[in-house]
Amino acid sequence: MPLVARIPQSKPNALSVALSVALLALVLALAGCKKHEPGPEGDILETLRAPTVAGAAFDPHTLRGKPSLVLFVSPTCPHCVEELPAAQKAARAADANLVAVFIVGKAENAKGVLEHTKFEGTALIDDGTLRRRYGVRSVPYTLVLGADGRAREQFHGGQGEATLSDAIADAR
Protein backbone atom coordinates (compact mmCIF):
# COMPACT_ATOMS: atom_id res chain seq x y z
CA MET A 1 0.00 0.00 0.00
CA PRO A 2 1.63 3.26 -1.10
CA LEU A 3 1.98 6.07 1.34
CA VAL A 4 0.25 9.21 0.16
CA ALA A 5 0.61 12.41 2.05
CA ARG A 6 -2.59 14.27 2.31
CA ILE A 7 -2.47 18.02 2.58
CA PRO A 8 -5.45 19.40 4.41
CA GLN A 9 -7.53 21.70 2.26
CA SER A 10 -9.05 24.67 3.98
CA LYS A 11 -11.72 26.87 2.59
CA PRO A 12 -10.73 30.49 2.11
CA ASN A 13 -12.22 32.75 4.69
CA ALA A 14 -13.64 36.20 3.97
CA LEU A 15 -10.50 37.96 5.18
CA SER A 16 -8.14 36.02 2.89
CA VAL A 17 -10.45 36.61 -0.08
CA ALA A 18 -10.63 40.33 0.70
CA LEU A 19 -6.85 40.55 1.03
CA SER A 20 -6.36 38.72 -2.27
CA VAL A 21 -8.75 41.07 -4.05
CA ALA A 22 -7.08 44.13 -2.50
CA LEU A 23 -3.63 42.88 -3.52
CA LEU A 24 -4.78 42.28 -7.09
CA ALA A 25 -6.33 45.76 -7.24
CA LEU A 26 -3.09 47.31 -5.96
CA VAL A 27 -0.97 45.45 -8.53
CA LEU A 28 -3.29 46.55 -11.35
CA ALA A 29 -3.32 50.15 -10.11
CA LEU A 30 0.47 50.32 -9.91
CA ALA A 31 0.79 48.80 -13.36
CA GLY A 32 -1.61 51.45 -14.64
CA CYS A 33 0.62 54.24 -13.35
CA LYS A 34 3.25 53.34 -15.93
CA LYS A 35 0.77 53.07 -18.76
CA HIS A 36 1.59 55.01 -21.90
CA GLU A 37 -0.30 55.29 -25.13
CA PRO A 38 -0.63 57.62 -28.10
CA GLY A 39 -1.67 61.10 -27.09
CA PRO A 40 -4.63 63.24 -28.07
CA GLU A 41 -5.17 64.12 -31.73
CA GLY A 42 -4.32 67.44 -33.35
CA ASP A 43 -1.81 70.19 -32.83
CA ILE A 44 -1.46 70.49 -29.06
CA LEU A 45 0.69 73.62 -29.31
CA GLU A 46 -2.17 75.52 -30.94
CA THR A 47 -4.26 74.97 -27.82
CA LEU A 48 -1.57 75.34 -25.16
CA ARG A 49 -2.60 78.83 -24.13
CA ALA A 50 -2.49 79.85 -20.50
CA PRO A 51 -0.73 82.59 -18.54
CA THR A 52 2.68 81.90 -17.05
CA VAL A 53 3.11 81.61 -13.30
CA ALA A 54 4.40 85.20 -13.40
CA GLY A 55 1.13 86.30 -15.04
CA ALA A 56 2.57 86.98 -18.49
CA ALA A 57 1.02 85.78 -21.74
CA PHE A 58 2.60 82.66 -23.21
CA ASP A 59 3.08 82.11 -26.94
CA PRO A 60 3.12 78.34 -27.54
CA HIS A 61 4.61 78.86 -31.01
CA THR A 62 7.97 79.45 -29.29
CA LEU A 63 8.04 75.68 -28.68
CA ARG A 64 7.91 74.69 -32.37
CA GLY A 65 10.91 72.98 -33.92
CA LYS A 66 11.82 70.77 -30.93
CA PRO A 67 10.12 67.94 -29.10
CA SER A 68 8.36 69.03 -25.91
CA LEU A 69 7.40 67.47 -22.61
CA VAL A 70 4.18 68.97 -21.24
CA LEU A 71 3.54 67.95 -17.62
CA PHE A 72 0.18 68.59 -16.02
CA VAL A 73 0.88 68.88 -12.30
CA SER A 74 -0.48 70.05 -8.98
CA PRO A 75 1.59 71.98 -6.44
CA THR A 76 0.33 69.66 -3.66
CA CYS A 77 1.11 66.38 -5.45
CA PRO A 78 4.32 64.72 -4.15
CA HIS A 79 4.62 62.59 -7.32
CA CYS A 80 4.48 65.76 -9.42
CA VAL A 81 7.20 67.39 -7.34
CA GLU A 82 9.37 64.29 -7.92
CA GLU A 83 8.62 64.18 -11.64
CA LEU A 84 9.57 67.81 -12.41
CA PRO A 85 13.34 67.39 -11.85
CA ALA A 86 13.35 64.07 -13.74
CA ALA A 87 11.55 65.70 -16.66
CA GLN A 88 13.93 68.63 -16.56
CA LYS A 89 16.98 66.33 -16.78
CA ALA A 90 15.44 64.36 -19.66
CA ALA A 91 14.46 67.50 -21.58
CA ARG A 92 17.82 69.17 -21.03
CA ALA A 93 19.78 66.09 -22.17
CA ALA A 94 17.68 65.84 -25.36
CA ASP A 95 17.55 69.59 -26.06
CA ALA A 96 13.76 69.46 -25.78
CA ASN A 97 11.24 71.98 -24.46
CA LEU A 98 9.72 71.54 -21.03
CA VAL A 99 6.38 72.97 -19.90
CA ALA A 100 4.69 72.48 -16.52
CA VAL A 101 0.97 73.20 -16.48
CA PHE A 102 -0.31 73.69 -12.93
CA ILE A 103 -3.94 72.58 -13.06
CA VAL A 104 -4.93 73.56 -9.53
CA GLY A 105 -3.81 76.01 -6.90
CA LYS A 106 -2.59 79.56 -6.96
CA ALA A 107 0.45 80.97 -8.69
CA GLU A 108 2.15 81.43 -5.29
CA ASN A 109 1.91 77.69 -4.61
CA ALA A 110 3.30 76.89 -8.04
CA LYS A 111 6.15 79.35 -7.52
CA GLY A 112 7.09 77.55 -4.30
CA VAL A 113 7.27 74.21 -6.11
CA LEU A 114 9.30 75.74 -8.94
CA GLU A 115 11.81 77.20 -6.46
CA HIS A 116 11.99 73.96 -4.48
CA THR A 117 12.63 71.83 -7.59
CA LYS A 118 14.84 74.45 -9.30
CA PHE A 119 12.59 74.14 -12.35
CA GLU A 120 13.87 76.02 -15.41
CA GLY A 121 11.18 75.37 -18.02
CA THR A 122 8.01 77.24 -18.87
CA ALA A 123 5.39 77.12 -16.11
CA LEU A 124 1.73 77.88 -16.84
CA ILE A 125 -1.35 78.27 -14.65
CA ASP A 126 -4.45 76.56 -16.06
CA ASP A 127 -7.90 77.94 -15.30
CA GLY A 128 -9.39 74.49 -16.00
CA THR A 129 -9.57 74.87 -19.77
CA LEU A 130 -6.55 72.68 -20.58
CA ARG A 131 -7.41 70.15 -17.88
CA ARG A 132 -10.87 69.66 -19.40
CA ARG A 133 -9.63 69.68 -23.01
CA TYR A 134 -7.20 66.84 -22.35
CA GLY A 135 -9.31 64.97 -19.81
CA VAL A 136 -6.72 65.24 -17.05
CA ARG A 137 -8.18 63.36 -14.08
CA SER A 138 -4.97 62.62 -12.20
CA VAL A 139 -1.48 64.03 -12.05
CA PRO A 140 1.22 63.88 -13.08
CA TYR A 141 -0.05 63.54 -16.64
CA THR A 142 2.56 63.97 -19.37
CA LEU A 143 2.21 64.64 -23.08
CA VAL A 144 5.24 64.07 -25.30
CA LEU A 145 4.99 66.30 -28.36
CA GLY A 146 6.94 66.10 -31.58
CA ALA A 147 8.54 69.18 -33.10
CA ASP A 148 5.29 69.74 -35.04
CA GLY A 149 3.28 70.09 -31.81
CA ARG A 150 1.42 66.81 -32.18
CA ALA A 151 1.25 64.35 -29.29
CA ARG A 152 3.34 61.21 -29.75
CA GLU A 153 2.69 59.64 -26.35
CA GLN A 154 0.91 60.29 -23.10
CA PHE A 155 1.78 59.00 -19.66
CA HIS A 156 -0.35 58.71 -16.55
CA GLY A 157 1.63 58.82 -13.31
CA GLY A 158 5.30 59.38 -12.61
CA GLN A 159 7.70 57.94 -15.19
CA GLY A 160 11.21 58.97 -14.28
CA GLU A 161 14.04 60.30 -16.37
CA ALA A 162 14.82 57.16 -18.40
CA THR A 163 11.26 56.66 -19.65
CA LEU A 164 10.88 60.33 -20.51
CA SER A 165 14.24 60.37 -22.31
CA ASP A 166 13.16 57.38 -24.41
CA ALA A 167 9.84 59.07 -25.22
CA ILE A 168 11.60 62.26 -26.34
CA ALA A 169 13.93 60.23 -28.57
CA ASP A 170 10.90 58.47 -30.08
CA ALA A 171 9.24 61.85 -30.73
CA ARG A 172 12.09 63.12 -32.88
Residue by residue, pLDDT tens for the chain (172 residues) are 555 555 555 566 666 555 555 544 444 344 444 445 556 888 898 899 999 999 999 999 999 999 999 999 999 999 999 999 999 999 999 999 999 999 988 999 999 999 999 999 999 999 999 999 999 999 999 999 999 999 999 999 999 999 999 999 999 8
Asked if residue 61 is part of any domain, the answer here is no
Asked if residue 105 is part of any domain, the answer here is yes
The CATH number assigned to the domain holding 137 equals 3.40.30.10
What is the reported pLDDT for 136? 94
Asked if residue 62 is part of any domain, the answer here is no
What is the reported pLDDT for 42? 86
What is the reported pLDDT for 34? 46
What is the reported pLDDT for 41? 86
What is the reported pLDDT for 54? 94
Asked if residue 98 is part of any domain, the answer here is yes
What is the reported pLDDT for 25? 45
Asked if residue 30 is part of any domain, the answer here is no
Task: Answer yes or no: are the C-beta atoms of 147 and 168 closer than 8 Å.
Answer: no
Task: Answer yes or no: are the C-beta atoms of 91 and 168 closer than 8 Å.
Answer: yes
39 lies in which domain range?
35-55+67-171
What is the reported pLDDT for 50? 94
Domain total of the chain: 1
Asked if residue 106 is part of any domain, the answer here is yes
Q: Which residues contact 153 (CB under 8 A, 6 or more apart)?
A: 36, 37, 38, 39, 143, 144, 167, 170, 171
What is the reported pLDDT for 162? 97
